[in-house]
Amino acid sequence: VGIVGNTQLKTFGVVYDLGKSMVGFSPGAC
Amino acid sequence: AGDAATASHVMLRLEDIFPDSSSSSCETPPQDHEHAASSSSSSSSSHTRMTVVHRHGPCSHLSTADTQHRKPPPSHEDILAADQNRVKSIQHRVAATTSRAGKQPSFPTTSSSVKLPASSGLALGTGNYVATVGIGTPATRQTVVVDTGSDTTWVQCRPCVASCYAQREALFDPARSSTYSNVSCAAAACSDLDVRGCSAGHCLYGVQYGDGSFSVGFFAMDTLSLSSYDSIKGFKFGCGESNDGLFGEASGLLGLGRGKTSLPMQAYAKYGGVFSHCLPARPTSTGYLNFGPTSPPPATQTTPMLTTNGPTFYYVGMTGIHVAGRLLPIPPSVFSSSSSGGGGGGTIVDSGTVITRLPPAAYAALRSAFVAAMAARGYRRAAAAAALLDTCYDFSGMGGVVAIPKVVLLFQGGAYLDVDASGIMYAVRPPSQVCLGFAANDGDGD
């Protein structure tokens, strides 16, 4: 497996929705 | 020149991206917890927002308390070494899940005294971001590592029957909480643990990693406060009596994985199985950890969560990489040839891993394109490698202005992650040693 680590996730809002089985990325969230 | 805007990040001030955190103060002090009713009309769930900070930055409680006798923060080499241990741990767990050959630690089963395994563990390297929760009644503040790569929340507990590492805050003392209770061995919740034991009727939990680090203790219930206004009664967590690993001086770990014991799963009815986080670009800034549905920003990109790949982890399907606006020639099979087979290996999104790991062929293509794009901008590799980071630059004398090529990660469903400038390069010793912040797995099948 590959792994997306926290360095590359910086400033993105990362949303995890277990019900919808979905991961989302929102740029510039913080 | 025409595509410069889409091909480069122009950093006008190098120190804005790679600050010297040791000499900085917190620019955005952690706010009091926020709480609001959900805007969703179809649900009665609420949402709660917590502040997330860099564990070793000036916004962290762990760095602002008395520092007179404290150890200095780890070097970047230490962090990267710990990160490699974590990745080995994840690969180990994925392999163990796939082969169903995972080794389970043993526990006493009938002893009236608690005899817990205690051995020196190697570093887990649980990433760099922490949040503060309250546990018990009255609530005691505990700053814990934010970890989407594991399930069970735990904190170190008095009396530390076997051993505890040094932590910054006071140890959680179950005897001082009016709402604390141990989970019984017969309780269904005890069966939810991946690794469990029983002592005098009390359920024991074990979180043990492939690298040898661990937390072991009583599986317990108490009130978990996520904000001043919001709490989860009867939250099940580990009351750690034997803990070791590189957790810094954090009090424990907040398990945000997909397993039954994780916070999102325990609080599914309350928050609808939805949470989000934002990790700040700089140690001097703050991010957030949000539970419950909120209206996503318009620019949100979504990709399917590959739930059949295995437990705990959040798998997504990576499909490609752009560097400087150009799609790299990486065959799709490179991203799906792992040992898990079947529907492909997938890619884990893990808040506790520092450096993104790619299949070797994908990393080779990324590195080659990145080096070429940097050369086109006049930058030559002139700095030594730093642990697993093999592509490093010396930006000394650049006048604080550099332009680095954009890197975009592509996912199934058309989602993409246009990596922020702060996430493309990792500043080991800015400005003289700044490295491409990606690394390769050891093998194609990892």
Q: Which residues of A touch B (CB under 8 A)?
A: 1-19, 21-30
Write the pLDDT tens digit of every residue in B236-292.
999 999 998 767 788 999 999 999 999 999 999 999 999 999 999 888 888 999 999
Nearest to B245 by CA among B160, B120, B152: B120
| Average model confidence (pLDDT) across chain B | 81
B411 CA to chain A: closest CA distance, Å?
A: 10
Of B168-177, B183-192, B366-375, B426-435, the poorest mean pLDDT is in B426-435
pLDDT of B317 above 90:
yes
Write the pLDDT tens digit of every residue in B204-225.
999 875 455 689 999 999 999 9
B244 is catalytic: no
* Residues A24, B302: C-beta atoms closer than 8 Å: yes
B211 is catalytic: no
Residues 6+ apart with CB under 8 A from B423: A7, A8, A9, A10, A11, B281, B437
Q: B359 near B334, Cβ under 8 Å?
A: yes
Nearest-10 Cα torsion for B242, B161, B135, B267? 50
Of B176 and B116, the one with more pLDDT: B176
Write the pLDDT tens digit of every residue in B322-368.
999 999 999 988 988 544 444 457 899 998 889 999 999 999 999 99
Nearest-10 Cα torsion for B245, B251, B254, B259? 50
pLDDT for the residue B213? 67
The complex scores an ipTM of 0.99
* Residues A5, B350: C-beta atoms closer than 8 Å: yes
* From A1, A12, A24, residue closest to B347, measured CB to CB: A1
* From B305, B350, B422, residue closest to A11, measured CB to CB: B422
List average pLDDT for each run of 10 residues in chain A, which is 30 residues long.
Answer: 93 95 94
Q: Name every chain A residue with its beta carbon within 8 A of the beta carbon of B354.
A: 5-7
Sign of the C-alpha dihedral computed for residues B77, B78, B83 and B89 taken in this order: positive
Q: Name every chain B residue with its beta carbon within 8 A of the beta carbon of A28.
A: 299
Write the pLDDT tens digit of every residue in B381-427.
888 898 899 999 999 888 778 889 999 999 999 999 999 998 999 98
Question: Helix, strand or coil for residue B162?
Answer: coil
Annotated catalytic residue within B147, B192, B230, B244: B147
Write the pLDDT tens digit of every residue in B54-64.
877 788 877 75
pLDDT for the residue B182? 98
Q: Find the mean pLDDT for residues B179-192.
A: 96
DSSP conformational letter for B195 = S
Annotated catalytic residue within B151, B194, B350, B446: B350
Q: Find the mean pLDDT for residues B21-27.
A: 67
